[in-house]
Amino acid sequence: MNFHVLTLFPEMIEGGLNASITGRAMEKELVNVNAVNIRDYAMNKHKRVDDYPYGGGAGMVMQAEPIYLAYEDLMRKINTKNPRVVYLTPQGQTFHQNMAQDFAKENDIILLCGHYEGVDERVLEMIVTDYVSIGDYVLTGGELPAMVMIDAISRLVPGVLHNDTSAEFESFQEDLLEYPQYTRPEVFMDKKVPDVLLSGHHANIEAWRKEQSVLRTKERRPDLYERYIHQKIT
């Protein structure tokens, strides 16, 4: 699985994903992250990639040309004919576990990170297939959202997690949040691990966990709970 990130801050992408599970996934070559510096495609002496907005207004706008040239060069290098090209923007569809699962089927994904006040609309119209937001708040650029997507998608690639079942029983499966987890010691500051988990009775443990998932979802995410209940009765 190859992620190609078009960015003005490649060091942010490289530095942010090198540790922990994503780092190991790259080491094992299950996942490859290719950060492309858009500035390398600036065709002017000063390597300028932004300019004032037509019509006036605050801030600068990223120019179409260097982004298009970076994209074109990348397309020459990869095997996938029509890869999905994601533009990270608060104006996109909100990223979701189902979306991560859908993206995990791809071989190559191109992620375009904007900065300043935005990107010239024309290049977006020409290359972007998906507009994705990671939530209703505004960040300074698309790099963190791109890393969020890469992290969430990578862990669904077979072999990235230690056991493939750990991606199966987790939050958002069936619209439920994950049940609470405990590890040693059995008693921590007078707080005891629930008895059922020490019982060795697998059916009871499973039933308890399901019940906890439902309770927790109802309490913390009533919106998800409504969906879960609705699904069960339809």
Least distance CB 16 / ligand ADE (angstroms): 15
Q: Which of 113, 144, 112 is nearest to 128 (CA)?
A: 112
* Residue 117 binds ligand ADE, judged by CB under 6 A: no
* Residue 135 binds ligand ADE, judged by CB under 6 A: yes
Among 133, 193, 209, 221, which residue interacts with ligand ADE (rule: CB under 6 A)?
133
Q: Tokens in use for 35?
A: 């950060």
**Residue type at 150 in one-letter notation:** I
Least distance CB 148 / ligand ADE (angstroms): 8
* Residue 90 binds ligand ADE, judged by CB under 6 A: yes
Least distance CB 90 / ligand ADE (angstroms): 4
* Residue 134 binds ligand ADE, judged by CB under 6 A: yes
- How far apart, in whole angstroms, are the C-alpha atoms of residue 160 and residue 105? 14
* Residue 142 binds ligand ADE, judged by CB under 6 A: yes
Q: Which of these segments, 44-52, 84-92, 97-105, 172-180, binds ligand ADE (CB under 6 A)?
A: 84-92
* Residue 5 binds ligand ADE, judged by CB under 6 A: no
Binding site for ligand ADE (CB under 6 A): 88-90, 133-135, 137-139, 142, 145
